[in-house]
Amino acid sequence: MVRARVALRSAPRCAICARLAKICVCHDAEPMQLRTRLCVVAHVLELEKTTNTGWVAARMVAGSEVLVHGRRFNSEDALIRDEIASEPDFTGWRPMVLFPTENAALLTPALADGLPVTLIIPDGTWAQARRMHNRIPWMAALPHVTLPHTDRRSGYLLRTSDRENRVSTMEAIAIALGILESQAAESEMLRIFQLLVRRTMAARGTPVANEKPLRTA
């Protein structure tokens, strides 16, 4: 898995995710051993943000990975190629793209057809995710799934959205794991998500009360 590309500054930071130590959640949960794995396809600019949740979600599920879309430079200013030019190996897995296209099927355990699932998630702003989806041929060719409708508001206080019923990448993954795996997997993902939100808001000087978990019903 790639390391998060949050810019380093003088304040103490986590050696794993590069977030401020007082915000980091890397040591608050062990990776979950599930039949499902995640393949987060992150826009290169998204990994620069402390508000990114896709990388955190991938770290919470054993065997998952983060692929970066877009050119970037490493610490030695050497150009690193786009990591999603070729399709990953899905042998033995049922790949599904979690993205609400017109023909996307409602996510249910039956879609896995008995195989473990690789859930592919475009990660970025809505515009970035849509562009990545349209520009990556192997992603567009895979089966697509969407989540059940929910009237519960998102607990993602780190960014604002002008669209209703939008949730963060990590919340969407949590709901998907609740469908494919168990309520316990969903709850654990949301627990870490809410912890990340509370710590980030507190670091900004805007502490929030504990939020109730986002539920699909």
- What's the pLDDT at 155? 46
- What's the pLDDT at 125? 86
Distance (Å, rounded) from C-alpha 144 to C-alpha 86? 18
Helix axes 183-203, 169-180, angle to 10 degrees: 170
Distance (Å, rounded) from C-alpha 114 to C-alpha 163? 35
Q: How confident is the model at residue 174 (pLDDT cuts 50, 70, 90)?
A: very high
Q: What are phi and psi of 184, to 5 degrees?
A: -65, -40
The amino acid occupying position 215 is R
**Domains in the chain, ordered, with CATH?**
37-203 (3.40.1280)
In this prediction the pTM is: 0.81
- What's the pLDDT at 72? 54
